[in-house]
Amino acid sequence: MSALLQEMSARALQLQIPLSVQLDLTYRCNERCVHCYLDHEDHGEMTTVEIKKLLNELAEAGVFFLTMSGGEILLRRDFFEILEYARALLFCVTLKTNAVLIRERQAERIRSLGVHSVQISIYSHRPEVHDSITKVPGSLKRSLEAVRLLKAHGLRVTIADVLMIQNIQDYPGVRALATELGVVFKIDPTITPKMDGNRSILNLNVDPTALRQVFQDETLVGSVEEFCGPPKELDDDDLDGQPCSAGHTACYISPYGDVYPCVQFPLPSGNVRRTAFLEIWRHSEELRDVRSITLRELPSCSQCVHGASCTRCPGLAYMEGNMRGPSSQDCEKSFVRTGIPSKNLLSRKPTTLGLVQINGAPMAARGSGRSRPHGTIPVRICM
């Protein structure tokens, strides 16, 4: 993050401005990825008029970074109308898509509307692996054709590779593909529980041995010595810092208008169909509660050796039952990374470790200034 962006993030935090918002336009999708956390039925998406009204409210609230995601955004027939409206309001727009529906005409339109970047999910360089994850034959070919088209139009493209047991061995191949295509490559080793609380898809997470190998890939993490080194001692700055920007300078809005602190933090905090966004942002009791949390008041994590360097996600902790509790998936990640068990893991009965889920932080959703040991790899690709 540039110094100026850090300064602006700090300013947004001070002024309580939601600098970054992810807006999911739909949960409908033309792929059926095995690890997806969404219910793809349409339970009453916001209309075009409702979304335009919301965009006006977001601009008024000071939102600068707007991520449009889904579901597959291009399944909305009004997608380009919404995108054009958002750009007229001068949002810095990032699109997340599987790109299967992007052809020459769509690529040209996206370029002409001044979209900042497009992130496309690619799970393998091998069609048989990628297509088995999306469950759509030919999907890798179509997604890669779209990557080339978007690049040819001068757009910034990122390939996002979610790691799971089906494709863990393929990330070097995807990275080589990204290099060949001249696009950014990111991996995301986090499988998120389903929105309805179903945790069965966590079984797709990579096992600790494979994850340790990823953590020791210096092309991904930078200095392995630093990344996997012993945790730093907790100080007052750590204890008084905010866990992440969720609810502080960032939030998530579902296709149905529900506001949450983050896409990975499903704490219902209001609905823009009933209440103006700014009213929710400023006065929601739930968001206020999230904002009140510092490391110091977390009973277990404030006493943990990993407290200063853990990538603890309050949303994952919430999904485990207590947003002030530990996120076991991050505890396990810290253990795999350093070989040192967290306080939470030590308090458990002796057992074999469960599947590990890495959950780093979205760039904009980790603004507390607390030092974190990771390089590029564990940074979660959202928002």
Partner 1 sequence: MTNRRYVVRSSEIAARRLGDKMMIMSGRDSTLITLNDVATIIWEAADGSTELEEIVKSKICPAFAVEPNEALRDANALADGLAGHGILLLSDKPFWPSSLSKESK
Closest approach, Cβ 93 to partner 1, in A, equals: 7
Closest CB 245 distance from partner 1, rounded Å: 15
Least distance to partner 1 from the beta carbon of 14, Å? Answer: 8
Please, which residue, 61 or 164, has the CB nearer to partner 1?
Answer: 61
Q: Considering beta carbons, is residue 15 or 346 the nearer one to partner 1?
A: 15
The phi-psi region of residue 45 (left if phi > 0; otherwise alpha if psi is between -120 and 50; otherwise beta) is: beta
Beta bridge partners of 95: 68, 118
Residue among 90 and 152 whose Cβ is closer to partner 1: 90
Q: In angstroms, what is the minimal distance from the CB of 369 to partner 1?
A: 18
Q: Are 159 and 174 in contact (CB under 8 A)?
A: yes
Helices (H), the chain: 3-15, 48-61, 79-88, 104-112, 127-134, 139-152, 171-181, 208-215, 218-221, 224-227, 236-240, 277-283, 285-291, 314-320, 328-338, 343-346
CA distance 207 to 251: 31
Kindly state the helix (H) or strand (E) to which residue 21 belongs, with its residue range.
Answer: strand 20-24
Token pair in block for residue 74: 């291009």
Q: Which is nearer to partner 1, 8 or 224 (CB)?
A: 8
- Is residue 15 within 8 Å of residue 245, measured between CB atoms? no
Residue 283 Cβ vs partner 1, minimum distance, rounded to whole Å: 20
* Closer residue to partner 1 in complex, CB, 55/162: 55
Residue entry with tokens 């529906």: 101
Beta strand pairing call for 259-260 and 250-253 = antiparallel
Minimum distance of partner 1 from residue 65's CB (angstroms): 8
Cβ proximity to partner 1, 87 vs 324, nearer residue: 87
Determine the Cα–Cα distance for residues 52 and 359; give it in Å rounded to an integer: 32
Binding site for partner 1 (CB under 8 A): 2, 4-5, 8, 11-12, 15, 17, 19, 59, 62-64, 87, 90-93, 114, 116, 156
Please state the separation of Cα 26 from the chain's center in Å. Answer: 17
> To the nearest whole angstrom, how small is the minimum distance from the Cβ of residue 114 to partner 1?
5
Tell me whether residue 64 or residue 277 sits nearer to partner 1 (CB atom): 64
